[in-house]
Amino acid sequence: MLLKQQDFYRSLTALSPGLVERVRRTIEESERRFTGGKEARGGFLWEHSVIVAAQSFRLAKAEKENPDLAAIVALLHDSGKFAGGRYHADDKPEEEEAARFARKTLETDGLKMADIGHVIRALRALYRSGASRNRLADIVHDADFLSKFGYVGVANFFVKSTLRGRNLESAAMDYLSKELTYASVLPANMRTAAARKMAVKKAADSLRFFRSYLGELNEAHGMELRVRTVDVPVTGARARQARVTLVLPASCGACGGKWETDFRTEKGPKCERLEASLRCAACGAKRSISFCLPELG
């Protein structure tokens, strides 16, 4: 990725020379430690951070917020994911690790204390359940989700699947339901007006590709994967239903029997989680699909 051609890179370099490179080294090193040094050049996490930073910089300008601070929050938003070379070490919230790293890094880079405070508060508010809304966090939230959809988002889905050892079948059977669910509601998941406009096209592009992909996968592998939309009751004080789009096999691959399905949601530490259970009525084989539901509104 040609980092030096990015508008946010030039702007942040003028603000604090060397800041971007220091963040880059930290993120790449933590990812290498986690993967055991498998990433020979760059890394998925840093590439994702750059894409989100570039998008955040543009969204902040459109929303008349500080684009430099939005880009800094975006660069740091995943910096706590592999803290200490471990994924979510000791179950510590990654936003807290990112905030700790931000304070340590930014205080040595000459940023104003008020700006450092804005960055830290945004990082802590980004994905913490019940946190007060924060304009910088809203912008980075939207940029983060936008980066995961459209054609670049589709490409990253398959890159991530490969890095995690999934083949085409397991990626489609176990993980594509989340992609379709989020793509279906992407505009409503946005918190800024500028992002909502972009989300309409990105959602349509993603849904168009994945549905065509499933059709070809069914033809090539004879998998008979079907797309099914269901409304699932959500727990909590406010009674509501979540609409989810699931990729489900038409029949059991082991015996050809019919699947019995059960859908429920449960409140986790960071999100409302869908738990979809499948059981073959003939042979008793089981499958499950689980993912965090989109936070809308």
Confidence bin at 71 (pLDDT 50/70/90): very high
Question: Which of 116, 147, 178 is the last residue in one of the domains?
Answer: 147
The answer to whether 145 touches 186, Cβ cutoff 8 Å, is: yes
> In whole angstroms, how large is the CA radius of gyration of the chain?
20
Confidence bin at 130 (pLDDT 50/70/90): low
- Position 253 scores a pLDDT of 83
Asked which of 80-94, 171-185, 186-200 is least confident by mean pLDDT, the reply is: 80-94
In the chain, the percentage of residues whose pLDDT exceeds 70 is 88
Mean per-residue pLDDT for 2-30? 89
Phi and psi of 130, rounded to 5°?
85, 0
| Co-location of 113 and 241 in the same domain | no
| Co-location of 93 and 51 in the same domain | yes
| Co-location of 188 and 266 in the same domain | yes
pLDDT tens figures, 27-63: 888 778 766 665 545 578 899 999 999 999 999 999 9
Domain presence at residue 160: no
Confidence bin at 236 (pLDDT 50/70/90): low
The answer to whether 145 touches 190, Cβ cutoff 8 Å, is: yes
Domain presence at residue 29: yes
Domain presence at residue 134: yes
| Co-location of 170 and 242 in the same domain | yes
Closest CA to 12 of 50, 44, 48, 43: 50
Q: Which one-letter DSSP state was computed for residue 262? A: E
């530490």: which residue's tokens? 269
Q: Which helix (H) or strand (E) holds 250?
A: none
Higher pLDDT, 237 or 190: 190
Mean of the per-residue pLDDT values for the chain? 87
Question: Which of 89, 114, 147 is the last residue in one of the domains?
Answer: 147
Rounded CA separation 280/143 (Å): 40
The per-residue b/e assignment along 179-209, b for 16 or more CB within 10 angstroms, e otherwise, is bbbbbbbbbebbbbebbeebbeebbebbbeb
Rounded CA separation 117/109 (Å): 14
Domain presence at residue 74: yes
Q: Which residues contact 221 (CB under 8 A, 6 or more apart)?
A: 168, 169
Beta strands 286-292 and 225-234, pairing class: unpaired
For residue 191, pLDDT over 90 is answered with yes
- Position 282 scores a pLDDT of 94
| Co-location of 30 and 79 in the same domain | yes
| Co-location of 140 and 57 in the same domain | yes
Confidence bin at 90 (pLDDT 50/70/90): very low
- Position 40 scores a pLDDT of 44
- Position 37 scores a pLDDT of 61
Higher pLDDT, 164 or 85: 164
Domain presence at residue 104: yes
Half-sphere exposure of 278 (CA within 13 A, CB side): 19
Phi and psi of 265, rounded to 5°?
-125, 155
| Co-location of 221 and 267 in the same domain | yes
| Co-location of 81 and 27 in the same domain | yes
Domain presence at residue 255: yes
- Position 199 scores a pLDDT of 97
**Residue 136, token pair as written in the block:** 């910088």
| Co-location of 210 and 97 in the same domain | no
For residue 2, pLDDT over 80 is answered with no
Mean per-residue pLDDT for 17-27? 90
Domain presence at residue 155: no
Taking CA 142 as the corner, what is the angle to CA 137 and CA 147, rounded to the nearest 5 degrees? 125
| Co-location of 108 and 213 in the same domain | no
Domain presence at residue 87: yes
Beta strands 225-234 and 240-249, pairing class: antiparallel
| Co-location of 8 and 142 in the same domain | yes
Rounded CA separation 87/180 (Å): 26
For residue 114, pLDDT over 90 is answered with yes
Which residues of the chain form beta strands (DSSP E)?
Answer: 225-234, 240-249, 259-267, 272-280, 286-292
The answer to whether 110 touches 16, Cβ cutoff 8 Å, is: yes
Q: Total domain count for the chain?
A: 2
Print the domain residue range for 125: 3-147
Question: Which of 96, 115, 147 is the last residue in one of the domains?
Answer: 147
- Position 85 scores a pLDDT of 47
| Co-location of 122 and 192 in the same domain | no
